[in-house]
Amino acid sequence: MYTNFIEDFLTAEECNRIIELGKVVGLEKMTSAKFVNGIYKETILNEKTNKRKGCYFVGTTLEDNLVKSISNKTINLLNKLKVLNGIEYTGVPKYSFNEYNAGDFLHWHSDSHEIMYGASITVIYQLNDEYGGGGIKYKVEGLEYSVPKKIGSLFIFDSNITHSVETIESGKRYSLNVWPSSIKKVNLL
């Protein structure tokens, strides 16, 4: 199981620009996808397990200079770290921008909905740290861990690791998530 916390990956200015871009793209209740009668369908999230607003950065938003820069920097880092043996990260198909208000949360889950699309790694960028509560938690082999709360940091982990966001007590929490696309490299002798 791979996990890694990296501080100061983004500057405060970059974080603020991403927050503004997310607000311009538009915030709505988040959706997910699941199999229904053998068909993969988008579904409204159950507010008993997931309460937040957000949007996806896709299409022309991925062409924004800052977004492209973050994508390139992230892919280069993942490949330098050799996050998962034999996997080369090649790009960013989408970002999920999230806004959590007081009372919002995300219960324990894995990113199985993204694994079905080929994800192997989840990256969470913390865009601010001026809020109460809202800590990121994760579990490995039955033990629970907390991710430090620091603007501009990122948390990288296997997409199948169970994780959560605790209830926001005050303020607003902003984050950006990505599941980079990859290819498995095969060594031929």
Domain residue ranges in the chain: 3-83+90-182
The pLDDT, as a whole number, for residue 30 is: 64
User: Which residue's structure tokens are 């199948």?
Assistant: 160
Q: Of 152, 147, 141, whose CA–CA distance to 176 is shortest?
A: 152
Top CATH class of 3-83+90-182 equals: mainly beta
pTM of the model: 0.88
The pLDDT, as a whole number, for residue 134 is: 96
Q: Of 21, 25, 26, 24, whose CA–CA distance to 10 is shortest?
A: 21
d(CA 50, CA 16): 24
- 45-93: per-residue pLDDT in tens? 555 556 778 889 999 999 999 999 999 999 999 999 998 888 999 999 9
The pLDDT, as a whole number, for residue 40 is: 47
Six-digit token pair at 151? 């603007």
List the chain residues with pLDDT less than 70: 30-50, 185-189
